[in-house]
Structure 1
Amino acid sequence: MKKLVMLMMTLALAVVMAACNGDSEDNNNEEGSGEGQSEQASQQQQQMPEPDLEGIPDVVAEVNGEEISGEEFKTTYEGQFQQMAMQSQMSGQELNQDELKQQTAEGMVSSELLIQEAGNRNFEASDKEVDEKLTELAQQSGMESKDKFISALEEQGMKQEDINSQVKTQVKVDKLIADESGDTKPSEEELQQAYDQFKSQREQMSQGSEGGEQAEIPSFDEMKSDLESQVKKQKEAEAAQTIIDKLREDADVTINL
């Protein structure tokens, strides 16, 4: 059986995080909002659109001879759809499912290209590295331990061996990106630019809110650790896209949507 692509792991994590955030928001609503907001939340839930999975082919794409199946695509699309549908409700903009399907397919192709390249370069992932990655993913999801994180993924339909396989693949791809991106340590100038952008966005949000009261903005020193992580991830994402663009030039890719 073909392994699930890396993107599915990312989306599965996103689903878990959304569920946790949703539970937190529901609890807050129950504690301080009363029946009015509960009724409004119920109406919003009723208005949530359903993913359109009609007509998905058995093979959604082929990447250098490797198939991305319709079932893999459906699972990945449902996770992506859930996130985008929530954003669509908040923004009031209608979700274009045809565009989202194309974006999802392209994302899966990109992930497959990275996986293949990591395999071609013979990157390895030790048990220790897999364990550390699981712990990191658990922390990112806001869960107390990797065991709870694994349990949450299993509730989403993933098996233990699939989870371990996905994390091992993620570690190898991380090594590929690190190998290509080189030193991603942010400079002080880059951190200051990121902080200025954050500060400007917060000020604009405060001006647009009712009453115009400006929320307290953390200082640069208070945010420095988060800024370093944010800028580093941006650099890694840019490096990943550069790799994908290069691989795509010589790749044999067919998308059947």
Structure 2
Amino acid sequence: MTLSKKWILSLLLVVFVSLLAACGNQDETAGDKDNNNKSESQEEGAQDKSGKGGQAEMPKPDLKGIPDVVAEVNGEKIPKDEFETVYKGQFQQAAMQSQMTGKKVDQDKLKKQIAEGLVGQKLLIQEVNKRDYQASKEEIDKTLKDLAKQNQIKSTDEFLATLKKQGMDEKEVMSQVETQVKVDKLIASESGDIEPTKEELEKAYEQVKAQQKKMGGEGKVPSFDEVKPALKEQIKGQKKAKVSQKLVKNLRKDADVTVNL
């Protein structure tokens, strides 16, 4: 697989950026439910435009006019190349979703979300440095192993070799993984008890069943016990993301932030 330079660094804000998008989507949920039929018609229209009843042509990211310095956080600059790396990855996901729903990607909105995510990331890293968190070799190795597994790469050595081909040496990778471990510790210290309750798990399971039914799924829905581990991780991730958002919001109150988009 191909992993771009600064790829690990972008992982630090993926959840945060996704949360920003999710929060915006939640505000629009009611309207979306009322417009389900309209969305279906849009999707059909998009398919018809292809000329063969298939999916519309994949849109391309618009990166014209991106300033050399996208934002500045307490004197630290977020450069254009860092923004573009993250934007391209997030845009690809948004474009694939666009093909499924028939809704055009709002690139201006996505750019603002990415910029805010990068600002949030920078604030978290700055706070980590202030609090002087430490990351042990064991913690770094475990995180590296988890990253390799998430990307379906068999070993950390192979993972490092893949990143090296993309321009990241081992020292740079280790530095970024160490930062991720420290940020995880910061979020964990702010999260407190995030263990999902029985009620939360059951509610999430009902949502899974409803979603499969809505999508016309014909297969048998897995039992609650089968999906419980995955649901636990999902809920814990959501709670951590909300804590991250709250922490960033508080940090930003006293921060000197300029966004140039």
Could you say which TM-score interval applies, normalised by the shorter chain?
0.7 to 0.9
**Could you tell me which of 133, 152, 155 is aligned with 1:123?**
133
- What is the CA-CA distance between 1:146 and the residue it aligns to? 2.5
**Could you tell me which of 88, 93, 97 is aligned with 1:78?**
88
Task: Report the more deviating stretch, 157-166 or 178-187.
Answer: 157-166
Q: Distance in 2 between matches of 1:243 and 1:79?
A: 25
Name the residue aligned to 1:9.
11
3-state secondary structure, aligned to 2:215: helix
Alignment pair present for 1:233 and 2:243: no
Q: Give TM-score, length-normalised by structure 1.
A: 0.77
Deviations 1:130-175 (A, max 9, x none): 1100111222223322233334444444332222121111100000
Aligned CA distance change for structure 1 residues 121 and 242 (closer, same or farther; 3 Å): same
Q: Distance in 2 between matches of 1:104 and 1:139?
A: 26
3-state secondary structure, aligned to 1:254: strand
3-state secondary structure, aligned to 1:61: strand
Q: Which runs of 5+ in 2 are unaligned?
A: 1-5, 15-50
Name the residue aligned to 2:255.
251
**Could you tell me which of 93, 105, 109 is aligned with 2:103?**
93
Q: Give TM-score, length-normalised by structure 2.
A: 0.76
Name the residue aligned to 2:225.
221
3-state secondary structure, aligned to 1:227: helix
Q: Which runs of 5+ in 1 are unaligned?
A: 13-39
Aligned CA distance change for structure 1 residues 232 and 11 (closer, same or farther; 3 Å): closer
Aligned CA distance change for structure 1 residues 180 and 5 (closer, same or farther; 3 Å): farther
Once superposed, what is the RMSD of the aligned Cα atoms? 2.8
The number of equivalent residue pairs is 222
Aligned CA distance change for structure 1 residues 150 and 93 (closer, same or farther; 3 Å): farther
Deviations 1:15-59 (A, max 9, x none): xxxxxxxxxxxxxxxxxxxxxxxxx99x869x3232222221111
Name the residue aligned to 1:66.
76
Q: Distance in 2 between matches of 1:53 and 1:149?
A: 29
| Equivalent position amino acid for 2:11 in 1 | M
Find runs of 4+ consecutive structure 1 residues off by over 4 angstroms.
Answer: 4-7
Preserved contact between residue 7 and residue 107 of structure 1 (Cα < 8 Å): no
